[in-house]
């Protein structure tokens, strides 16, 4: 999990000390999303910030990352998430003449946009298999692209201003800039009290989400939304054996791709079907012993009261799966007293 943010103002040079301080403050709000590193890049009307949780290429994957042409930055990227097919894309790009300085997936995304996205960024983004949210600044076109993965796994918010836009992985990054109004209207209140997500209503007045499967293009002429992917219903005609085989193939491919990392990996295990299946597959395909974690409350299992939607506690199933699969398991036990501690509450609000 990384954090990205930025500020585009086509009527201002953001290189001054006051603007730099604001960008630094915006970036600092996401320290919990990226504890390993931080960086900013500022040039004229564009300022980008990044907080990094290092997963791939710990040394070479620092951000913001730039693709240089003729000794100058041509594209500058702040990126969060992971592109699972980056190795295949890298091979294709190398065959087309691209040269890489790192082994990170971030650099692959940069070169993918340069190769396939010059005329239509949707073509470049469609090549990516992963979960991601990123911002790409084109120094020649003076154009910002805000991109979100197909299902909206990674968050990305933006706030149009008179002369550009503010953006961030979380609203608090945007609200750290005084151009963003800290106000909630009636629609925002409805959002906080409902269970239905609405990308055009982020609780705060004037703030929006980049829609899943969309690109937001920001230029001096305005803001444009572009769709690069949408879910379609093609019907299901496969028989049961074919369906089972296909689902297994998809799950195995997904798990193997997500095991690519330069740091230890783990699973969050609830004892349910989904997390148990994924944990078992991860243990099967990993070269190292998989660590698993579960979250529970002190006394919950011992004092559990069955209900129509939850007839048994999770704990016993978690331990059965961990034992059967052979994970290095840890239970994270929470207590009401600890959660009511003022310092814990303050940390939760700040995070």
Residue 192 pLDDT grade (very low, low, confident, very high; cuts 50, 70, 90): confident
Task: Give the C-alpha separation, 228 to 193, whole Å.
Answer: 31
Which of 156-165, 312-321, 330-339 is modeled with the greatest confidence? 156-165
Q: Where are the alpha helices (DSSP H) in the chain?
A: 17-28, 86-95, 105-116, 121-126, 171-175, 186-193, 240-258, 273-285, 315-325, 336-339, 342-350
- The percent of residues above 90 in pLDDT, for the chain, comes to 74
The residues carrying an active-site annotation are: 2
CB neighbour class for 134 (10 Å; exposed up to 12, middle 13-18, buried from 19): buried
Q: Tell me the pTM.
A: 0.91
**Which of these, 247, 248, 331, lies nearest to 284 by C-alpha position?**
248
Residue 60 pLDDT grade (very low, low, confident, very high; cuts 50, 70, 90): confident
The mean pLDDT of the chain is 93
pLDDT exceeds 80 at position 57: no
State the residue for tokens 């086509």: 10
CB 170 within 8 A of CB 33: yes
pLDDT exceeds 90 at position 308: no
Residue-level pLDDT at 156:
97
- The percent of residues above 70 in pLDDT, for the chain, comes to 99
Task: Give the C-alpha separation, 36 to 58, whole Å.
Answer: 9
Residue-level pLDDT at 351:
67
CB neighbour class for 203 (10 Å; exposed up to 12, middle 13-18, buried from 19): middle
233 versus 58: which is more confidently predicted?
233
Q: What does the pLDDT average to over 54-64?
A: 83
Q: What does the pLDDT average to over 320-344?
A: 92
Q: What does the pLDDT average to over 99-113?
A: 95
Task: Give the C-alpha separation, 224 to 219, whole Å.
Answer: 9
pLDDT exceeds 70 at position 54: yes
Q: Which domains does the chain have, with CATH numbers?
A: 3-227 (3.60.20.10), 240-350 (3.40.50.620)
Task: Give the C-alpha separation, 320 to 270, whole Å.
Answer: 11
Residue-level pLDDT at 111:
97
Category of 155 on φ-ψ map: left (φ > 0), alpha (ψ -120 to 50) or beta: beta
First to last CA, the chain: 13
Asked if omega into 44 is within 30° of 0 (cis), the reply is: no
Q: What does the pLDDT average to over 236-263?
A: 93
**What backbone torsions phi and psi does residue 337 show, to the nearest 5 degrees?**
-65, -45
Residue 55 pLDDT grade (very low, low, confident, very high; cuts 50, 70, 90): confident
Task: Give the C-alpha separation, 22 to 123, whole Å.
Answer: 34
Q: What does the pLDDT average to over 174-200?
A: 88
Residue 53 pLDDT grade (very low, low, confident, very high; cuts 50, 70, 90): confident
Residue-level pLDDT at 262:
85
């Amino acid at each position: 999990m990384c954090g990205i943010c930025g500020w585009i103002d086509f009527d201002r040079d953001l290189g001054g000390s006051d603007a730099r301080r604001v960008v630094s403050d915006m970036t600092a709000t996401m320290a919990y999303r990226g504890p390993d590193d931080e960086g900013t890049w500022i040039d004229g009307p564009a300022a980008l910030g990044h907080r990094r949780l290092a997963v791939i290429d710990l040394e070479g994957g620092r951000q913001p990352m730039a693709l240089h042409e003729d000794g100058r930055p041509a594209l500058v990227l702040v990126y969060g998430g992971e592109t699972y097919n980056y190795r295949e894309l890298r091979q294709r790009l190398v065959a087309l003449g691209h040269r890489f300085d790192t082994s990170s997936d971030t650099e692959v995304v940069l070169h993918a946009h340069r190769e396939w996205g010059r005329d239509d960024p949707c073509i470049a983004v469609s090549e990516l298999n992963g979960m991601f949210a990123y911002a790409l600044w084109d120094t020649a076109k003076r154009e910002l692209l805000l991109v979100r993965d197909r299902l909206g796994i990674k968050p990305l918010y933006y706030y149009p201003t008179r002369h550009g836009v503010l953006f961030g992985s979380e609203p608090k990054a945007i609200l750290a800039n005084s151009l963003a109004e800290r106000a909630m209207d009636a629609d925002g209140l409805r959002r906080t009290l409902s269970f239905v997500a609405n990308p055009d209503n982020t609780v705060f007045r004037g703030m929006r989400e980049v829609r899943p499967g969309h690109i937001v293009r920001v230029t001096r002429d305005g803001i444009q939304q572009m769709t690069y992917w949408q879910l379609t219903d093609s019907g299901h005609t496969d028989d049961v054996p074919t369906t089972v085989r296909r689902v297994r193939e998809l799950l195995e491919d997904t798990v193997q791709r997500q095991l690519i990392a330069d740091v230890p990996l783990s699973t969050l295990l609830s004892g349910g079907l989904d997390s148990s299946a994924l944990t078992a597959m991860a243990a099967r395909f990993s070269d190292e012993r998989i660590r698993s974690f579960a979250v529970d409350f002190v006394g919950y299992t011992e004092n559990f009261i069955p209900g129509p939607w939850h007839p048994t506690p999770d704990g016993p199933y978690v331990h059965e799966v961990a034992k059967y699969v052979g994970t290095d398991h840890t239970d994270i036990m929470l207590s009401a007293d600890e959660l009511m501690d003022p310092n814990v509450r303050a940390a939760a609000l700040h995070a």
